Amino acid sequence: MSDYKAPLNDMFFSFFEVNDMVSHYQSLGFDSDLDEDMVKSIFEEGAKLAEREVAPLYTIGDRQGCQLIDGEVKTPDGFKEAYQVYREGGWSSLMHAEEYGGQGLPQSIGSSLTETIGTANWAWSMYPGLSHGAMETLHQYGTDEQKQTYLTRLVSGEWTGTMCLTEPHCGTDLGLLRTKAVPQDDGSYQISGSKIWISAGDHDFVDNIVHIVLARAEGSPEGVKGISLFVVPKFNVNDDGSIGERNGVVTTGLEHKMGIHGNATCMLSFENAKGYLIGDLNKGLKCMFTFMNVARIGTSIQGLCHAQRAFQHSLEYAKDRLQMRSLTGAKFPDMAADPIIVHPDVRRMLMTQKAITEAGRAYIHYLTKQADLIAYGKDEATKKAADARLGLLTPIGKAFLTDLGHECANLGMQVFGGHGYVKDWPMEQNVRDARIGMIYEGTNGIQSLDLLGRKVALDQAKGLRSLTKEIRQWCKTANGAAKPYAKTISWMTRELEWMTIRILMKARKNPDEIGAASFDYLMFAGYMMMGWMWARSVQAAQSKVDGPNAEFYRAKLETAQFYFDRVLPRTRALKKTAMSGGKSIMSLSAEQFAL
């Protein structure tokens, strides 16, 4: 079975024809050099990196895993060498500020690199991937000295970064954290505490790792109001920028995980480690959310990656595997049996993967357009509106796409039958690797609470209404084959607004109503957004079905029909469950759960 092949045709379609990125870049003031040909060349070179350097390490990383030897992490064979190719190619600097050594390209371009490398090998991609959040945090909140010391080396790829949030006794509830920061006379802090589940927390790619650490400064209040953010290097840095003595950061263990074995998920102990405050004291959560939002976009892409890998391999297998004859007569009479792709149930699984993957890709591109507007928008009103839109859409992307990415991974395994369940084929690894996406960066239940309980409820659904208004305005302009789909999606926006009002009204009497409805509410919104992406795809494709690459465009129309016939109807059940209230969820006492 072949290794990963980047789906460049569909990436180009989503990027240029559905999301019109060239006009987008022109509106942001990028020069004419950032045209379609330039962007395509970046995608193509990134695809070569993914296919040639990173994809061959997929199985190796899973089989070998990482090792902790004398307090240092050794990564699987070939991982370190692939990173050197990545760094020498300038990929770490692609979308970061030129003043710190970056290339200054928009995040939307970087997201496609994340997709190709992540689909090729998600475990490997996390090593450079975690650095982007550290870079964004330092860029927004770091001092000039911190930027020169750490940011420039992160941008160049000379060093990598992590985020250190979770502790053994607390996960999402960061107000319980115990890591302490004691101020020193030289303006630094001594950081002491334990952190767990630190992805890429230690490795052998680079000489230094920059940890972004949440801690409570001495004398700060309890709870989230007393949290600050610190930069803590693995090795201290001398005044001339050279690496100094080892800091008090110790890797005490590696997590034994279900999947992503090629990535070192570390337990770290900070033992009077020297750290430096990022931003204002006791404002660490504000700074951290910059990191988290970047990470959540990355995890949204992770869902897409696992769906794409499942689809690619299961499609290839379905074309080759012979099993029985078609119910309508032999399709390949010269063969002993027909390939399983002729059977309707196999087609159901393949079409579900295809429909989710292609709409998910368009959604990611739409999502990262908002990130571009925040960074390069021409006025504060534009930046503010994009920030609100991204805040609304990110939990949908993270939760919906990782849930559906895992579904696709399981469908891919099912296409393989018994072969999918054994390590001789790549499908069981994809299922194991995909499962963490629903837990990362705040579980999907937390994402749904963030969407409904914070993003929607706290601003009285103003951001939601802005989104649904934009969707309805687009739907009014749809024509031809896209028109009936647009009508359905326009109606669904009204449904979502009605659901929102009813749930928030019930929550005034009982706040548990938001928690009871939130997951189904988010999934309803996700299917609606994917439906909008498919309607937009049909609008873009319908005029091209008789021209060059006609089969590609016809497939778009047929896949959209499948989505609206076989996937979007899931929202009918989601509406019913979301609106059923919390009584049946909360009715049992804790004692009644006993066996």
Q: Provide the token pair at 237.
A: 């840095």
12 and 138, same domain (yes or no): yes
What range defines the domain where residue 244 resides?
160-282
137 and 164, same domain (yes or no): no
88 and 204, same domain (yes or no): no
Per-residue pLDDT, 437: 96
194 and 143, same domain (yes or no): no
582 and 557, same domain (yes or no): yes
205 and 171, same domain (yes or no): yes
Distances in Å between the Cα of 359 and the Cα atoms of 70, 462, 532 are: 46, 26, 9
Confidence of residue 1 (pLDDT cuts 50, 70, 90): low
496 in Cβ contact with 468 (< 8 Å): yes
Indicate the SS3 state at residue 103: coil
Q: Is residue 493 part of a domain?
A: yes
Q: Is residue 343 part of a domain?
A: no
Distance CA 248, CA 110 (A): 34
Contacts of 52 by beta carbon, 8 Å cutoff, 6+ apart: none
Per-residue pLDDT, 479: 97
Confidence of residue 3 (pLDDT cuts 50, 70, 90): confident
- Average pLDDT along the chain: 95
Among residues 191, 187, 225, 226, the alpha carbon closest in space to that of 211 is found at 191
238 and 191, same domain (yes or no): yes
Per-residue pLDDT, 2: 57
488 and 574, same domain (yes or no): yes
Q: In this model, does residue 290 exceed pLDDT 80?
A: no
Among residues 64, 49, 66, the alpha carbon closest in space to that of 6 is found at 49
202 in Cβ contact with 264 (< 8 Å): yes
In the chain, pLDDT over 70 holds for what percent of residues? 99
Per-residue pLDDT, 595: 79
Q: Is residue 287 part of a domain?
A: no
In the chain, pLDDT over 90 holds for what percent of residues? 91
Q: Is residue 143 part of a domain?
A: yes
Backbone angles phi, psi at 118, to 5 degrees: -65, -40
75 and 110, same domain (yes or no): yes
Per-residue pLDDT reduced to its tens digit, 110-160: 999 999 999 999 999 999 999 998 999 999 999 999 999 999 999 999 999
- Of 254, 282, 310, the last residue of a domain is 282
Q: Is residue 278 part of a domain?
A: yes
Confidence of residue 174 (pLDDT cuts 50, 70, 90): confident
Per-residue pLDDT, 507: 96
For residue 229, the cross-strand partners are 214, 278
Helix, strand, coil content of the chain in percent (nearest 5): 60, 10, 25
Per-residue pLDDT reduced to its tens digit, 513-543: 999 999 999 999 999 999 999 999 999 999 9
Indicate the SS3 state at residue 251: strand
Element spanning 52, H or E: none
- Global pTM value: 0.96
Per-residue pLDDT reduced to its tens digit, 328-372: 999 899 999 999 999 999 999 999 999 999 999 999 999 999 999
Indicate the SS3 state at residue 236: strand
**DSSP state letters, 283-304:** -HHHHHHHHHHHHHHHHHHHHH
Q: Tokens 């502790």, residue?
A: 167
| Highest mean pLDDT (candidates 96-100, 117-121, 282-286) | 117-121
Catalytic residue status for 72: no
49: domain CATH number is 1.10.540.10
Q: b/e string for 411-433 if b means 16 or more Cβ within 10 A? A: bbbbbbeeebeeeebbbbbbbbb
Q: What is the mean pLDDT of residues 7-20?
A: 98
Per-residue pLDDT, 175: 75
Distance CA 282, CA 13 (A): 45
Per-residue pLDDT, 325: 94
For residue 31, the cross-strand partners are none
Q: What is the mean pLDDT of residues 95-109?
A: 93
529 in Cβ contact with 363 (< 8 Å): yes
Q: Provide the token pair at 133.
A: 């959040």
Per-residue pLDDT, 500: 98
Q: In this model, does residue 293 exceed pLDDT 80?
A: no
Per-residue pLDDT reduced to its tens digit, 184-213: 999 999 999 999 999 999 999 999 999 999
Distance CA 122, CA 589 (A): 41
**Cα–Cα–Cα angle for 480, 481, 484, rounded to 5 degrees:** 100
Confidence of residue 389 (pLDDT cuts 50, 70, 90): very high
208: domain CATH number is 2.40.110.20
132 in Cβ contact with 297 (< 8 Å): no
114 and 234, same domain (yes or no): no
536 in Cβ contact with 507 (< 8 Å): no
Q: What angle separates helix 512-541 from helix 380-416, to the nearest 10 degrees?
A: 90
137 and 42, same domain (yes or no): yes
For residue 212, the cross-strand partners are 163, 231
Lowest mean pLDDT among 113-117, 225-229, 234-238, 287-291: 287-291
Q: Provide the token pair at 456.
A: 């929607």
Read off the DSSP letter of residue 341. G
Q: Is residue 321 part of a domain?
A: no
- Of 242, 262, 282, the last residue of a domain is 282
Indicate the SS3 state at residue 227: strand
- Of 94, 126, 154, the last residue of a domain is 154
Catalytic option among 441, 497, 551, 591: 441
Per-residue pLDDT reduced to its tens digit, 402-424: 999 999 999 999 999 999 999 99
Among residues 293, 302, 301, 284, the alpha carbon closest in space to that of 165 is found at 284
How many domains does the structure of the chain reveal? Answer: 3
Per-residue pLDDT reduced to its tens digit, 337-349: 999 999 999 999 9
Q: b/e string for 498-537 if b means 16 or more Cβ within 10 A? A: ebbeebbebbeeeeebbbbbbbbbbbbbbbbbbbbbbbbb
Residue 53 half-sphere exposure, CB side, CA atoms within 13 Å? 22
Distance CA 111, CA 43 (A): 10
Q: What is the mean pLDDT of residues 496-506?
A: 97
176 in Cβ contact with 210 (< 8 Å): no
Read off the DSSP letter of residue 233. E
Backbone angles phi, psi at 579, to 5 degrees: -90, 0
**Strand 265-278, strand 189-199: pairing:** antiparallel
Q: What is the mean pLDDT of residues 426-440?
A: 96
188 in Cβ contact with 275 (< 8 Å): yes
218 and 131, same domain (yes or no): no
Distance CA 567, CA 569 (A): 6
Among residues 129, 122, 197, the alpha carbon closest in space to that of 157 is found at 129
Distances in Å between the Cα of 23 and the Cα atoms of 190, 540, 575 are: 49, 15, 37
